[in-house]
């Protein structure tokens, strides 16, 4: 079983690492169809940080974050999240760890079509053993915060792409996970809604002992980053902060 990582039992300074992945290798397929998506990627994100991951399509961003989130097995390398090494854990223990500590917004929103919005957003709380009433009331609060109050009983198929994306964001935040991982959270959103969502994610990121990592192609949100990791061809090419980060953000406007 993984160690208990609830915030009450782990008190760490805000500068400590939330994620440390080193030398991560991941290949898909075999023979002629083999693609090496990660070729020894080194990645870290700090507690209290909003961290962006950028890079060309196909460079391995989703693959890296799926490994860190515990949704994908990897071939080589070490992955450590909030001081717990995922390397030695069985799949079932990783799943348990993920349920308690990680919120994941997928590139495809992965909403459950047969459930209404409140039920979709309640899922992480129910999986963590919370009662249905509490879960639904918290889900409704989150739906309001992402601007979907009044739509609680709709189903995902009755919503626009941007609205579905906001449901996915509410679902990723509802159980207040210590690590939130988002794959393109603003791709389907207009500017104003995108900024509202980024404000919500930045607040979650900067709470003590928490961290938000976002994969994005959207230069409109680069200004929110505390640090930016640039990936290229299965590896991390650079990590930007301070002056170089400011220059990068300005160069994309
Ligand atoms: N399930 C899979 N099976 C086979 N190949 C895969 C799979 N997932 C990813 N790949 C390959 O691994 C490489 C990295 O893919 P990944 O999805 O991580 O890229 P990405 O940086 O997220 O791209 P994008 O910006 O387009 O989302 C690509 O060459 C992709 O084709
Ligand atoms: Mg991707």
Q: Which tens digits make up the pLDDT trace of 25-56?
A: 999 999 999 999 999 999 999 999 999 999 99
pLDDT at residue 2, rounded to an integer: 42
Ligand 1 closest atom vs CA 59:
21
| Residue pair 120/165 in contact by the 8 Å Cβ criterion | no
Going by CA atoms, what residue is nearest to atom 24 of ligand 1?
A: 57
**Residue 58 CB–ligand 1 contact under 6 Å:** yes
Taking ligand 2, which is a single-atom ion, which protein residues have CB atoms under 5 Å away?
A: 62
The bound ligand whose nearest atom lies closest to the alpha carbon of 59 is 1
pLDDT at residue 15, rounded to an integer: 55
Phi and psi at residue 176, to the nearest 5° = 50, 55
Q: How far apart are CA 144 and CA 127, in angstroms?
A: 22
Of 218, 241, 238, nearest to 230 by C-alpha is: 238
Put simply, whether the predicted model's pTM sits higher than 0.85 gets the answer: yes
The bound ligand whose nearest atom lies closest to the alpha carbon of 57 is 1
| Residue pair 212/204 in contact by the 8 Å Cβ criterion | yes
**Residue 158 CB–ligand 1 contact under 6 Å:** no
pLDDT at residue 13, rounded to an integer: 46
Domain covering 17-107+166-251 assigned CATH 3.40.50.300 in the classification: yes
Radius of gyration of the chain (CA): 18
Q: Residue 72: which H helix or E strand, with range?
A: none
| Overall average pLDDT of the 137-160 stretch | 95
| Span 169-220, pLDDT tens digits | 999 999 999 999 999 888 888 888 888 889 989 999 998 899 999 999 889 8
| Residue pair 128/175 in contact by the 8 Å Cβ criterion | yes
Task: Compute the distance from residue 57 Cα to the ligand 2 centre, in Å.
Answer: 7
**Residue 38 CB–ligand 1 contact under 6 Å:** no
| Span 42-94, pLDDT tens digits | 999 999 999 999 999 999 999 999 999 988 999 999 999 998 999 888 889 99
Bridge partner residues of 201 (DSSP): none
């Amino acid at each position: 079983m993984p160690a208990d990582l609830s915030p009450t039992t782990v008190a760490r300074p805000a500068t400590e690492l939330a994620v440390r992945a080193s030398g991560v290798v991941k290949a898909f397929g075999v023979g002629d169809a083999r693609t090496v998506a990660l070729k020894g990627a080194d990645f870290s994100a700090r507690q209290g940080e909003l961290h962006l991951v950028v890079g060309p399509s196909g460079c391995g961003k989703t693959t890296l974050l799926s490994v860190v989130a515990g949704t994908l097995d990897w071939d080589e390398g070490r992955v450590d999240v909030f001081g717990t090494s995922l390397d030695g854990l069985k799949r079932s223990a990783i799943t348990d760890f993920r349920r308690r500590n990680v919120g994941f917004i997928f590139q495809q929103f992965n909403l459950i079509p047969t459930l209404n919005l409140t039920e979709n957003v309640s899922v992480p709380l129910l999986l963590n053993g919370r009662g249905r009433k509490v879960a639904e009331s918290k889900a409704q609060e989150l739906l309001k915060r992402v601007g979907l109050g009044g739509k609680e009983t709709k189903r995902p198929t009755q919503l626009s792409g941007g609205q579905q994306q906001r449901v996915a964001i509410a679902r990723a935040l509802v159980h207040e996970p210590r690590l939130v991982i988002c794959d393109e959270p603003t791709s389907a959103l207009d500017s104003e809604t995108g900024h509202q969502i980024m404000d919500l994610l930045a607040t979650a990121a900067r709470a003590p002992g928490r961290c938000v990592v976002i994969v994005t192609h959207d230069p409109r949100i680069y200004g929110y980053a505390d640090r930016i990791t640039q990936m290229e061809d299965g590896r991390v090419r650079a990590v930007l902060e301070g002056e170089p980060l400011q220059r990068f953000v300005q160069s994309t406007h």
